[in-house]
Amino acid sequence: KNQVEQSPQSLIILEGKNCTLQCNYTVSPFSNLRWYKQDTGRGPVSLTIMTFSENTKSNGRYTATLDADTKQSSLHITASQLSDSASYICVVSAIHNNDMRFGAGTRLTVKP
């Protein structure tokens, strides 16, 4: 079982709508959690990075939350645009060896 589980696997929304992507992890001891955006055929690009003491971080229309007690994170996208269509990957790192664990991603499609 992967140590980072993302849901849903895929999501289709209309342009202008909001959406929330989920990430649950079992990686321990926790160091940091990152959300990446990956456009089709491109490499992942970092959106946010959060450490244990942070529970919210925003990057434009993207807002990530972290609950280190329940080991859950979410990525909220506000007023979606067609360019938000991409895969969103959650990556969790452990303290002791900086080992990075990747989720399988959520494929988001924004339709006009």
Partner 1 sequence: ETGVTQTPRHLVMGMTNKKSLKCEQHLGHNAMYWYKQSAKKPLELMFVYSLEERVENNSVPSRFSPECPNSSHLFLHLHTLQPEDSALYLCASSRSGQPQYGYTFGSGTRLTVV
Smallest distance from partner 1 to CB 67, Å? 19
CB closer to partner 1 out of 54 and 78: 54
CB closer to partner 1 out of 42 and 61: 42
Smallest distance from partner 1 to CB 11, Å? 14
Residues that bind partner 1 (CB under 8 A): 2, 4, 9, 31-32, 34, 36, 41-46, 49, 89, 93, 98, 100-105
- Contact yes or no for 21/11 (Cβ under 8 A): yes
